[in-house]
Structure 1
Amino acid sequence: MYRDEGVVLRTAPFAEADRIVTVLTRRNGRVRAVAKGVRKTSSRFGARLEPGTYVDLQLHEGRSLDTVTQADILAPYGATIAQEYARYTAAAVMLETAERLTSEERQPAFRLFLLLVGGLRTLASGERPPSLVLDAFLLRSLTVSGYGMALDECALCGEPGPHHSLSVPGGGVVCPECRPRGAASTSPAAVRLLADLLHGDWDGAEATDVRTRREAGGVVAAYLQWHLERALRALPHLERT
């Protein structure tokens, strides 16, 4: 037996009434466990193991899958976020990204866990635009996972910016001398927005217009999927404002 807290990333049906739950935990990284009988109306787990829910879990370790023996809600972020489509789709991308960035089970991912809890808490509160919360989460998650995007200096030679060409394979903005074939021209406003989101300057980020946010969001999505080496299922459904 062990106990941990975590965020439910995904669920899948299993057997007649069970469900496999994928959770990003504080201390044990990504864990997959069986919640027995959770699909029955009489289940004691009820809605405690839905995606986006922050839970305190007790689990029994198994050979391939652990078993959930107790679950208590710490914060029902998922239920609150689901009330608005823009927040719901942003959360779906965040949860899928967190799962993809923890490719190995039980590999500690404490910083990613904290980013996910903070991002879901901000989405649930409604205090920030969902698209900005999502892009801030994605940029910071990539950074703590070793795929940080260079925004303040050239990704190839380190020449201080600002630079307005961006190479996704190259790792971020590039100077005119290093600009590889295929690098995209990015507006100064979009580059500043990306830097503000990465560094936590919310005043600067929220002062931007919709066009700049969409341009920056497109850059983040392309960069994320390049490093994940596969498209995210939730991304086409994202509503950006």
Structure 2
Amino acid sequence: MGTYRDSGVVLRTQKLGEADRIVTMLTRGRGVVRAVGRGVRKTSSRFGGRLEPSMHVDVQFAEGRSLDVIAQVVTIDPFASHLGADYAAYTAGTAMLETAERLVADTAEPSVPQYHLLVGALRALTEHRQPPDVLLDSFQLRSLAIAGYAPSFDGCARCGLEGPHRHFHAGSGGMLCDACRVPGSSVPSATTVALLAALLVGDWTAVGLADDRSRREAGGMVANYLSWHLERGLRSLAHVDR
């Protein structure tokens, strides 16, 4: 039975039998990996605490018939221990983990940019660089962009006409000009559109100028856009503290 080593972020865990868990991770080299942690639910487990959601770890895997087996775990960043004490950061981090799994799980190839984006976003959460909801919105927009679903906020998503434009439609890919507007388009405020563009590129100076109303409107639009591309919403978003 062969072995391999990779670094990854624990996305979620599931109980298996009396003492085991199935651990789902976003790894750097192999994308989303599901592996069995033998005995990790026992209090005597050597590395059960290192396999909690949002932990950033270095893992040695043993190849199995259906699922690989976790043979060794070394902590790189204990993000879970920091996020657990902050409800807003914890719920935002949980939504990040679900976003990453949903966007990467169906791809055949690993996504190193998605892996680095998730690690960076979790680190920003634990270091309180920005409000958790702001970091979540920026992460989701960037994650969508890496997956090939980058929304357009400057030009018309249909004809390419330079903006600014007034209408937003998730199914069309972003902002639309008057000529391309479709039924069901929303009309966000100009400050909200500017905030979304800043979140997409990480212009934190511009993000810091946004008011609470724009932040709430932007958060709703990001959730709507993500839901449209995933074909259903994220369960974790219902618990995000905004």
TM over 0.5: yes
SS of aligned partner of 1:68 = strand
Structure 1 segment 219-238 matched on structure 2, within 5 A: 219-238=221-240
Q: Which runs of 5+ in 2 are unaligned?
A: none
Tell whether the 8 Å contact from 1:30 to 1:102 is kept in structure 2 after alignment.
yes
Structure-2 residue corresponding to 1:38:
40
Cα distance per residue 1:106-133 (max 9 Å; x no partner): 6311111011000000001012111110
Tell whether the 8 Å contact from 2:138 to 2:199 is kept in structure 1 after alignment.
yes
Alignment CA distance shift 1:145-1:187 (3 Å): same
Alignment CA distance shift 1:105-1:159 (3 Å): closer
The code of the aligned residue for 1:221 comes to: A
In 2, Cα distance between the equivalents of 1:46 and 1:12?
13
Structure-1 residue corresponding to 2:154:
152
Structure 1 segment 207-222 matched on structure 2, within 5 A: 207-222=209-224
Cα distance per residue 1:36-73 (max 9 Å; x no partner): 00000000113100000000000011222110000010
SS of aligned partner of 2:5 = strand
In 2, Cα distance between the equivalents of 1:63 and 1:109?
24
1:104 offset after TM fit, Å? 3.2
Structure 1 segment 17-166 matched on structure 2, within 5 A: 17-104=19-106, 107-166=109-168
Structure-2 residue corresponding to 1:194:
196
Alignment CA distance shift 1:60-1:104 (3 Å): farther
Moved over 4 A (4+): none
Q: Which runs of 5+ in 1 are unaligned?
A: none
Is 2:11 the partner of 1:9? Answer: yes
In 2, Cα distance between the equivalents of 1:91 and 1:7?
12
SS of aligned partner of 1:33 = strand
In 1, Cα distance between the equivalents of 2:71 and 2:190?
52
The code of the aligned residue for 2:149 comes to: Y
In 1, Cα distance between the equivalents of 2:69 and 2:39?
11
TM-score of the aligned structures, taking structure 2 as reference length: 0.97
In 2, Cα distance between the equivalents of 1:63 and 1:225?
34
SS of aligned partner of 1:47 = helix
The code of the aligned residue for 1:153 comes to: G
Tell whether the 8 Å contact from 1:164 to 1:173 is kept in structure 2 after alignment.
yes
TM-score of the aligned structures, taking structure 1 as reference length: 0.98
In 1, Cα distance between the equivalents of 2:207 and 2:46?
43
